[in-house]
Structure 1
């Protein structure tokens, strides 16, 4: 079972989320994967995937804010 090692970027509160209803986040896991908290938009974007992209039934398409990704950029490893 993977465990969260660290957050990439800054906490949601530092990006203006005071309530908890808008808290996209990115975490690095102990097995090298990344976990994303975002808004599930599978129903609206599934048909928009390019022909060379697909997802399994157990996978979801999620979105995070641009600020969340940009604030995490410095913490994302190059390799």
Structure 2
């Protein structure tokens, strides 16, 4: 599995001084997306709607609103 490109602005472009521990979104070679965010599984697992499920190997990851909004233009329609 390989990262093809960043989706949206880099952490530095979004105002991170260090650019080290910031949320990020990447498109993978197979078309999937990888997200770097804060693990909030313990906090949000019980809040999932009844029609949502999470496997033991999956985590609920939170990214900032700004990260996703600035990535919107780079997310392909198909």
Match of 1:71 in 2: 70
Residue ranges of structure 1 left out of the alignment (5+ in a row): none
Tell me which residue corresponds to 1:60. Answer: 59
Q: What RMSD over aligned residues (CA atoms) do the two structures have, in Å?
A: 0.7
Instruction: Tell me which residue corresponds to 1:29.
Output: 28
In the other structure, the counterpart of 1:50 is: 49
How far residue 18 of structure 1 moved from its aligned partner, in angstroms, is: 1.4
Per the normalisation by structure 1, the TM-score is: 0.94
Output the CA distance in 2 between the equivalents of 1:31 and 1:47.
Answer: 31
Give the structure with the higher percent helix: 1
Give SS of 1:47's match: helix
Q: Equivalents in 2 of 1:6, 1:76: separation in Å?
A: 11
Cα distance in 1 between the residues matched to 2:24 and 2:37 = 7
Q: Distance in 1 between matches of 2:65 and 2:56?
A: 26
